[in-house]
A = this chain, B = another copy of it.
Amino acid sequence: MRDFYPEDSVVQQHIFNTWAKTAESFGFERYDASILEPADLYKAKGAENEELVNEQTYTFLDRGNREVTLRPEMTPTVARLVAKKARELSFPLRWYSIPNLFRYERPQKGRLREHWQLNCDIFGSDHIAADIEIISLAYQTMINFGATPDMFEIKINDRAMMHRLYTAIGLSEEMVAELTKLNDRKNKISEEDYQTKLNDITKDEVLSEEVNLLLGKSDEQTDVMVGLAELGINNVVFDKTLARGFDYYTGTIFEIFDTSLENNRALIGGGRYDNLTSMFDGDPIPGIGFGMGDVTLRDFLETHDLIPESLFKSSAVLVVIPETAEQNLFAQGIAKRIRLSGHYVYVDIGTQKVDKKKARAKNKGAKYLITFGEAEISSEQFTLKNLETDQENRDNIETIISRLEEVR
């Protein structure tokens, strides 16, 4: 499990703030829910998900003997929320959340992993504009972290189209389902292994060859890609092998990949699901969304040197340093008055020497320093030092405050 000391927490908050700001700039509204859900919520999605619930989640009995799960993903939760209030809500909805999610590693490792994810969804529109918007939001999130389009690539596919193409060459429903799962693991196995497994699925080498031919063609330009190009988004490729793990996708699916070789992983994944709310006995509400994890994103930001140095400066712009501990309280009074003018201020009440305190304030990124002792208290004249310019001004507190108000 993860601890976040301040130097990690500032990066985490930078990620959360950029996520929230970008989603809100597209008019998305925030929602949240408890981390605990009934285990049935995940089992409902199909037999193979039961395996996921049993093997990869933290599921346990509560004292009322109910089986509860620390949520491994947010999509079933948001579908539950939307289905529950479907009659009151005004569609289309644009919703986002920044939940923490939990995955349990294979029993031999026995480790629980907690990570955070930005989840964005548009509910209640089956128009292609929703597909294009959700992908352009994913794109803009990357841009707002300082990424340039060459640093990442958007891979697009379409579940419904692939279904048509597969059945046209003679694959059965079962074969399509198995092939989709195989493609989802394509990058994790060898080419030889892939061909063996493909033959296991088709049981026909000619058919396997047709599948290879079909997947090899990449001259497609979908309507979604045309729409993205119109919005100036061109780092997009059509990839017929893109599969996505979850069953519930029904149309457009996409992933955003880091293009650097050292971190060539999916940063964002999502797609269209048009039946998800119907598992809560409601009408099916069309939706499209994506998730973006904090761990892979942080690796991306580190790889491309996109974590701003300014994050590691203290939020406090001004530090007040009294010469002796007897003056701590007087210093708190000065700090309070300056704080009222909108500046972030603290008093160094440590027992270290004044010089050490000055060095620490500078090291923490403070811009201003007020150091004082008995002489300053009796003369009512204090020195405000600008640590960036080394300029010093000696004034009474009122003048210092007006000076600071000017630089806010």
What is the distance, in angstroms, from A168's C-beta to the closest C-beta of chain B?
Answer: 29
Given contacts A81-B5, A92-B349, contact A129 B332 (CB under 8 A): yes
What residues on B are CB-neighbors of A332 within 8 Å?
129, 132-133, 136, 227, 231
A1-22 contacts to B, CB under 8 A, are 1-6, 9-10, 12-13
CA distance A242 to B201 in the complex (A): 72
> In the complex, are the beta carbons of A112 and B33 less than 8 A apart?
no
Most buried by B among A27, A61, A100: A27
> In the complex, are the beta carbons of B30 and A227 less than 8 A apart?
no
CA distance A10 to B3 in the complex (A): 27
What residues on B are CB-neighbors of A112 within 8 Å?
36, 62
Cross-interface CB contact of A350 among B62, B114, B125, B231, cutoff 8 Å:
B125
Number of copies of this protein chain within its complex:
2
Q: How large is the interface on A (under 10, 10 to 19, 20 to 34, 35 or more residues)?
A: 35 or more
A27-52 contacts to B, CB under 8 A, are 27-36
> In the complex, are the beta carbons of A10 and B26 less than 8 A apart?
no
CA distance A129 to B100 in the complex (A): 37
Partner-B contacts on A (CB < 8 A): 1-6, 9-10, 12-13, 24-36, 58, 60-64, 81, 85, 90-92, 94-95, 100, 104, 107, 110, 112, 114, 124-125, 127-130, 132-133, 136, 140, 227, 230-232, 314-316, 319, 325, 328-329, 331-333, 336, 339, 343-351, 360
